[in-house]
Amino acid sequence: MMKKAVETHAAPSAIGPYSQAVAIGDLVFCSGQIGLDPVSGTMVEGGIEAETRRVLDNLREVLAGAGLRLTDVVKTTVFLVSLADFETVNRIYGEHFSAPYPARSTVQVAALPRHARVEIEVIAHR
């Protein structure tokens, strides 16, 4: 199996030497997304709620670039700078995913790129 980079202009470009996602076989591994606006390349304003919505919109677009949808996601990892934001992120996350929900891990981290408060990465299956 050959791996193939997934790239879309509908989501923010990678801010480092990595792909927005990589497809190999029936799996697509999406790099973590933060609340960057894909047009301006700047962080969205409005706090954790606005960031979380932008993160999930960005992931939706990266998955679309691979011909997939959020319903194809089987695993997510949520990185939070503060676990105090967990309830807000969880509520918005629940608006975007439905049963059977993806497996998920949530971890608190010291910091994220661009002073983001939340980052989410996903694995999807065709």
d(CA 98, CA 95): 8
Tell me the pTM.
0.97
Between vectors from CA 122 to CA 116 and to CA 125, what angle results, nearest 5°? 165
Q: What is the pLDDT of residues 30-47, one digit of tens each?
A: 999 999 999 999 999 999
Question: How high is the pLDDT of residue 12?
Answer: 96
Q: In angstroms, what CA-CA distances link 61 with 1, 34, 119?
A: 24, 13, 15
CATH number given to 3-125: 3.30.1330.40
Question: Strands 103-108 and 73-80: what pairing?
Answer: parallel
Domain residue spans in the chain?
3-125
Between vectors from CA 52 to CA 47 and to CA 57, what angle results, nearest 5°? 130
Q: What is the pLDDT of residues 62-109, one digit of tens each?
A: 999 999 999 999 999 999 999 999 999 999 999 999 999 999 999 999
Question: How high is the pLDDT of residue 84?
Answer: 98
Q: How confident is the model at residue 1 (pLDDT cuts 50, 70, 90)?
A: confident
